[in-house]
């Protein structure tokens, strides 16, 4: 285990089970639809690439990037779109892929923005959910697992751009970010 990680919350094996199960569910739910998977950069990349391999359907993949966190562990609430998706959404069933749903502000901003572009449907899948932290009215249609209110890293999730490549989800030691 990485020395900056206090404890592992979701192991690599559990992550694999979660993505397999969700992939099968999406495959069943989106059969016959025009699926566009939109990953929210950068945190969703590991989840999206693993999940999409278990979606046994034709699909498009695109990415969107918003900034709100910077290097801190607390959301600023101010959301800016840094990279938009490339194509027109008309006729697509959009599946928005997030790493973690915290206050929900980032996803709500993206959801509302994409909803105005005439998609056939729009749904949300998040690997991790911190329901106790929700500040705005948004829910995920598909959730990998709930996590407690702790700052987690790994499997795409960063602190200050580090730790994304850990193969598990772990709680970051407070000493790493406190006092900075």
Whichever of 93 and 158 has its CB closer to ligand 5GP, that residue is 158
Work out whether the CA dihedral 94, 115, 113, 140 comes out positive or negative: negative
3 state SS of 180: coil
Instruction: Name the one range near ligand 5GP by CB under 6 A: 14-22, 27-35, 51-59, 155-163.
Output: 155-163
Question: Is position 99 an interface residue for ligand 5GP (rule: CB under 6 A)?
Answer: yes
Question: Is position 157 an interface residue for ligand 5GP (rule: CB under 6 A)?
Answer: yes
Whichever of 27 and 68 has its CB closer to ligand 5GP, that residue is 68
- For residues 95 and 133, is the Cβ–Cβ distance under 8 A? no
The first and second tokens of residue 168, run together, are: 């598990």
E-strand ranges in the chain read: 5-10, 35-41, 59-67, 80-83, 93-101, 121-129, 142-146, 152-153, 169-172
Pick from 39, 104, 144, 170 the residue near ligand 5GP by CB under 6 A: 104
Question: Is position 121 an interface residue for ligand 5GP (rule: CB under 6 A)?
Answer: no
Question: Is position 15 an interface residue for ligand 5GP (rule: CB under 6 A)?
Answer: no
Within 10 A of 86 (CB to CB), how many other CB atoms are there? 9
d(CA 10, CA 12): 7
Place of tokens 């404890």: 7
Question: Is position 75 an interface residue for ligand 5GP (rule: CB under 6 A)?
Answer: yes
Catalytic-labelled residue, pool 99, 102, 129, 158: 102
Pick from 48, 110, 143, 153 the residue near ligand 5GP by CB under 6 A: 153
User: Catalytic residue numbers?
Assistant: 102
- The residue ranges that bind ligand 5GP (CB under 6 A) are 43, 68-69, 75, 98-107, 151-153, 157-159
């Amino acid at each position: 285990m990485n020395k900056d990680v206090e404890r592992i919350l979701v192991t690599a094996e559990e992550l694999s089970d979660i993505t397999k199960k969700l992939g099968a569910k999406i495959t069943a739910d989106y059969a016959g639809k025009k699926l566009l998977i939109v990953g929210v950069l950068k945190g969703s990349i590991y989840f999206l690439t693993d999940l999409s391999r278990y979606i046994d359907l034709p699909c498009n993949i695109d990415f969107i990037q918003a900034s709100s966190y910077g290097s801190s562990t607390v959301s600023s609430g101010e959301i800016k779109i840094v990279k938009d998706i490339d194509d027109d959404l008309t006729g697509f069933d959009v599946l928005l892929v997030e790493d973690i749903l915290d206050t929900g502000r980032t996803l709500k901003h993206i959801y509302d923005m994409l909803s105005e572009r005439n998609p056939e449907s729009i749904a949300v899948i998040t690997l991790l959910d911190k329901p106790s932290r929700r500040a705005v009215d948004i829910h995920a249609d598909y959730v990998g697992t709930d996590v407690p209110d702790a700052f987690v890293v790994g499997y795409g999730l960063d602190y200050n751009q580090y730790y994304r490549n850990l193969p598990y989800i772990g709680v970051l030691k407070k000493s790493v970010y406190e006092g900075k």
